[in-house]
Amino acid sequence: MASNRQTDTAALVAMLGEHTTVNVRLALIADAQRWQLHHAQVTFDDDTPVTERAWRYSTATFLEARLPGSTVAALLRGEEQDVRGLHVVCLDPPSASASIYRLRGQQEWGRVTTPWPRTEWTINRDANALQPGYDLLVGDGPSFLNFDQALSAFLYQRSHDSNASHVDLWRIALPQRAGWLSQITIGPDLLTAVIDGEVLDGAVLELSWASGNHVQPVDGAGTLSFELPQGLVHDSLLMLRREDQWLDWRSFPAPTYGHARDASVVWEQPGPELEILLANGEGQHLECKREVPEGDSRKKMLKTIAAFASRDGGTVLIGVQDDLQIVGLPEKPNFDKQLLEVVGMIRDNLEPMPPYEPSLIDHEGKTILAIEVASGGQMYAYRNGQRPEYYVRVGPNTVPARHPEIAAGFRQAPTATRC
């Protein structure tokens, strides 16, 4: 979770002015004889080289460059600046304050994930600001159907999500590389953490849980381990800190298979985790299928996946009967082909694409396909022909969403993709 507070924009302007150069990505819209700033990403990072890029069209321009900090500070103040031969101005009235967030490593924010922690400042765009058009973009750069698709490709090399709009006028990031957890491996009786960092003097690594904690000093980059005689306790917290300031952390809630996995965390105990999940039985967050479904059963599974994503997440286990007996997937067709079949079902029938992760689990000689669905913070539809259908999970049942539930789901949908 990101900690959120406010800071004066003037402090950001001063910080930018103190830096000789900063890395920037700019999205600009043509406005008479000038270019108006639509979105700016700025990174204080002297260690990462920038490959300068420019996509130029008659109505829009996208630039990546290393610019003087004073130039970017002037833009933030609302002053017109010459940027690579373009007259650029930020016409939105400068906001008096910016939101500031402190993020741990491997935390997604605005479609970006970094291995190390970072501090980010954001300033929202004025609702009345000039908006990009929806014309085809053809020019000195790849061709795109519209501005939003070009922006997403330029910033993230990913396709545009029509349910995620970019409301940030400014997004400014400061990497925090003093220390971070680059990989955590959790086995049945041992937790091992690989620690990297540039300033680790005086740091400690702490594993805490409801009834106790263990602390080890950190002598530098390397590996530390904690013995887990009873396995990892649910809701444990692993924290790399120096006195009362955290450098990086990871938390480990009870396994539900319903939350997107952290790429830096490796679980080497799928058997016990699967047994804990099955011990709770089918319900709000678990659906079991004996095999990859066909016909009407296929539709039921897809509705359930949409319902999981629309609320709190959940898991579909294929290769497990309704009575929770593990039978495993049939060996023919092969397991990878069955996984790809399910992935294709989700891609072709759910809208937008829900956040999920498929995985094959080996358990006592049998293979189970787990579809771990994370909460997407919005409503997801099963596409029945041209008609979207919305569902929610009520106990062990998937039922049609009522109009107030659908409306509430769209109201809570994030205006920008944040974590």
CATH number at residue 343: 3.30.950.30
pLDDT tens for 157-211 read 877 765 455 678 999 999 999 999 999 998 878 999 999 999 999 999 999 999 9
Looking at residue 163, what is its pLDDT? Answer: 47
Q: Are the CB atoms for 247 and 197 separated by under 8 Å?
A: yes
3-class DSSP assignment, residue 145? coil
Query: Residue 321 falls within a domain, yes or no?
Result: yes
Determine what percent of the chain is predicted with pLDDT higher than 70.
91
Query: What does the alpha-carbon distance between residue 268 and residue 43 come to, in Å, rounded to a whole number?
Result: 36
Please indicate, yes or no, whether residues 243 and 351 belong to a single structural domain of this protein.
no
Looking at residue 252, what is its pLDDT? Answer: 83
Query: What does the alpha-carbon distance between residue 219 and residue 231 come to, in Å, rounded to a whole number?
Result: 26
Please indicate, yes or no, whether residues 135 and 184 belong to a single structural domain of this protein.
no
Query: Residue 132 falls within a domain, yes or no?
Result: yes
pLDDT tens for 31-83 read 888 999 999 999 998 878 888 999 999 999 999 999 999 999 999 999 999 99
Please indicate, yes or no, whether residues 92 and 144 belong to a single structural domain of this protein.
yes
pTM of the model: 0.69
Looking at residue 164, what is its pLDDT? Answer: 52
Instruction: State the residue range of the domain holding 248.
Output: 180-253
Taking 50 as the pLDDT cut, the residues of the chain under it are 1-2, 163, 256-260, 272, 414-419
Please indicate, yes or no, whether residues 192 and 322 belong to a single structural domain of this protein.
no
Query: Residue 288 falls within a domain, yes or no?
Result: yes
Number of domains in the chain: 3
Query: What does the alpha-carbon distance between residue 206 and residue 216 come to, in Å, rounded to a whole number?
Result: 6
Torsion of Cα atoms, 146 then 149 then 150 then 151, to 10°: 120
Query: Residue 133 falls within a domain, yes or no?
Result: yes
Query: Residue 261 falls within a domain, yes or no?
Result: no
Please indicate, yes or no, whether residues 244 and 333 belong to a single structural domain of this protein.
no
Determine what percent of the chain is predicted with pLDDT higher than 90.
58
According to DSSP, the β-strands at 190-196 and 53-56 are unpaired
> In the sheet that 286-289 helps form, which strands lie side by side, from edge to edge?
286-289, 314-318, 366-373, 356-363
Please indicate, yes or no, whether residues 206 and 166 belong to a single structural domain of this protein.
no
Query: Residue 395 falls within a domain, yes or no?
Result: yes
Positive/negative CA dihedral, 146, 149, 155, 161: positive
Query: What does the alpha-carbon distance between residue 397 and residue 320 come to, in Å, rounded to a whole number?
Result: 17
Please indicate, yes or no, whether residues 278 and 249 belong to a single structural domain of this protein.
no
Average pLDDT score over the chain: 87
Domain boundary among 117, 151, 175: 175
Q: Are the CB atoms for 210 and 159 separated by under 8 Å?
A: no
Query: What does the alpha-carbon distance between residue 376 and residue 418 come to, in Å, rounded to a whole number?
Result: 10
Q: Are the CB atoms for 39 and 62 separated by under 8 Å?
A: no
Query: Residue 356 falls within a domain, yes or no?
Result: yes
Looking at residue 387, what is its pLDDT? Answer: 86
Looking at residue 258, what is its pLDDT? Answer: 41
Domain boundary among 175, 203, 228: 175
Crossing angle for the helix pair 69-77 and 9-18, to the nearest 10 degrees: 160
DSSP string, 197-257: -S--TT-EEEEEETTEEEEEE--SSEEEEEE-TT-PPTTEEEEEEETTEEEEEEEEPPP-S
Query: Residue 418 falls within a domain, yes or no?
Result: no
The end-to-end CA distance of the chain, in Å, is: 7
* Residue 179 exposure: Cα atoms within 13 Å on the Cβ side: 25
